[in-house]
Amino acid sequence: MKHLVRELVVAPGSKFKLAQIDPENTHGVDKPKAADRLAKNLERLSLLQYLLYADAKQALLVVLQGIDAGGKDGTIRHVMSGLNPQGVTVMPFKVPEGAEKRHDYLWRVHKAVPEFGSVGIFNRSHYEDVLVVRVHGLVPKPVWSKRYQQINDFERMLSENRVRIVKFLLYISKEEQAKRFRERLDDPTKNWKFSEADIKEREYWDQYIEAYQDMLRKCSTDWAPWYVIPANHKWFRNLAVAEIVRHTLESMDLKFPRPTADLVGIKFE
């Protein structure tokens, strides 16, 4: 429903405060009704993806950011489950290596932008270059501080060339992160997901929150808005992302193209 679109968006140019967002908030949605509502959204998404593919004049880029254990993988698994995998690409952005380190930081990102007719999902993204790079001092402040405007310009260029962009910060509490880390330790099938680096990164929690807030304030634009998803409840996270992606696709005015042949009078012997 559109109220989630209105309530969760970061208004461009606003003095948004991430600390005022409650990761437990479900915005009046109760869990018993959420599953049916999600199913309807997924059904609608399937049709909209088909229209996007048939139209083949636009693309959709979904950006997912979030602190460790925020639920990026789970969101992709549950929200995109109804889409045709032939029309979806998922790109995980990890530490740059090889040729990626010998180009500007947006080089590898631009290469991964989805083609017309497709949906692209970034699991982490170019925003790592104003997040982890900033928090860990990997480049000096005079360098990373210029990247907000560079990213805005890059996303504007994509938008003006028919790539619609929608960005999600999956926001969980520090307590919820600890709970999810414990689940990884207790479940043998999830042990592989845990690393000592997860614990080390928790020491930078406050610095990450500050970096996220600046990212949201400076890079939520009319052409590429940020949405902050209270993500302590996975069921609400999935519903909110699905509804916003659905709304975004519906706003793209997708239409079936005209047939290339005159279909009147065609007969098969």
Enumerate domains of the chain plus CATH numbers.
2-250 (3.40.50.300)
- Quote the pLDDT of residue 2: 58
- Quote the pLDDT of residue 193: 82
- Quote the pLDDT of residue 253: 94
- Quote the pLDDT of residue 164: 98
Spatial distance between the Cα atoms of 218 and 202, rounded to a whole number of angstroms: 24
Q: Give the side-chain half-sphere CA count within 13 A for 6.
A: 3
Sheet containing 226-230: give its strands across.
Answer: 88-92, 119-123, 59-66, 163-171, 226-230
Spatial distance between the Cα atoms of 75 and 81, rounded to a whole number of angstroms: 9
Let me know if 132 is exposed, middle or buried by CB neighbors in 10 A (0-12, 13-18, 19+).
middle
Which single residue is written with the structure tokens 């414990």?
182
* Low-confidence residues of the chain: pLDDT under 50: none
Spatial distance between the Cα atoms of 189 and 195, rounded to a whole number of angstroms: 14
- Quote the pLDDT of residue 199: 86
What pTM was estimated for this model as a whole? 0.95
- Quote the pLDDT of residue 236: 98
